[in-house]
Structure 1
Amino acid sequence: MRYPFFVYGTLRPGERNHDLFLRGRTESEAPGRLRGALLYEGPGYPYAVEELGGAGGVVSGELVTALPEAYDELLAVLDELEEYAPGDPCNLYERVAREVTCADGAAVLAWVYVAAPAVAARLRARGKLIEGGDWHA
């Protein structure tokens, strides 16, 4: 599926990876919110961690729609940036399709890179939570 991407860290506008990876490859970028996840600090970038059995957390970010002609390249580039490979137990992130709420209240499915299970467990146990779910704040 060719879903948009929900970005919440270094790929957001104004952050270091936005211009490196997204400039010239996007059709639109708009604010969005991912419910059912919490945001934790990582080593220079954040991790979205899906909540277990709850949906109280919210992560703020941007919903990025790729240019149709750039989609496959952008997907490959973002998978590489996030060190994601399907089925690899060493992944730091997993790419999952999740519902993201747009500023107008509409909900869309988007690709989201969330902390892989082992990373998520470690962060839940002793990670530093980013209060409010917004890395910019």
Structure 2
Amino acid sequence: MTSVALPFFVYGTLRPGEPHHARYLRGRTHATEPARLTGAVLYDGPGYPYAVAEPTGVVHGDLITALPTAYGQLLAELDELEDYVPGDPRSRYERVARDVRRADGTAVRAWVYLAAPPVAARLRTAGVRIAAGDWLTRG
């Protein structure tokens, strides 16, 4: 897959205040804003979430725009964090381009890490769904 310089939609441990935000994103972003992904639901990992494609769902998160000078390295590091290797059936996540909505309703194309098909199938069968679609309010 070509690595087009899209912003990232993050919905779990990469969100501001969460453990991976400071490690991966601090000082490497141009903008962070609330956003939502329609057509997906959220499952507990546990300890981290998985977004799974589901036509009627909504996942709440943040749209992260990386600094151009940090983009290539950040993309590689996030792929590694999310255990995503293009074409590898053992990947836990897939990085896909999806439209997400800003708070004002405008659509933005962004990279989203969705649960890979085998993981998604297991979660649909036996996973713990986060009903509100928001990792920060999973309580």
Q: TM-score higher than 0.5 here? A: yes
Q: 1:67 and 2:67 equivalent?
A: yes
Q: Deviations over 1:40-62 (max 9, x none)?
A: 000210000001xx2x1000000
Instruction: Give the whole-Å Cα distance in 1 for the aligned partners of 2:65 and 2:93.
Output: 20
Determine the structure 2 residue equivalent to 1:109: 109
The amino acid across from 2:101 in the alignment is T
Over residues 94-136 of structure 1, what are the superposed CA-to-partner deviations in whole Å (9 max), with x where a residue is unaligned? 0000000001111010000000000000000111100110010
Letter in 2 for 1:40: Y
Partner in structure 2 of residue 10 of structure 1? 13
Aligned to 1:128: 128
Aligned-partner residue type, residue 50 of structure 1: A
Aligned residue in 2 for 1:34: 37
Query: 2: CA distance between counterparts of 1:24 and 1:76?
Result: 16
1:72 shift after superposition? 0.3
- Equivalent pairs counted in the alignment come to 134
When the two chains are superposed, the root-mean-square deviation of aligned CA atoms in Å is: 0.5
Unaligned runs of 5+ in 1: none
Structure 1 segments of 4 or more deviating over 6 A? none
TM-score computed with the length of structure 2 as normaliser: 0.95
State the secondary structure of the residue aligned to 1:104: coil
The percent of aligned pairs where both chains have the same amino acid is 66
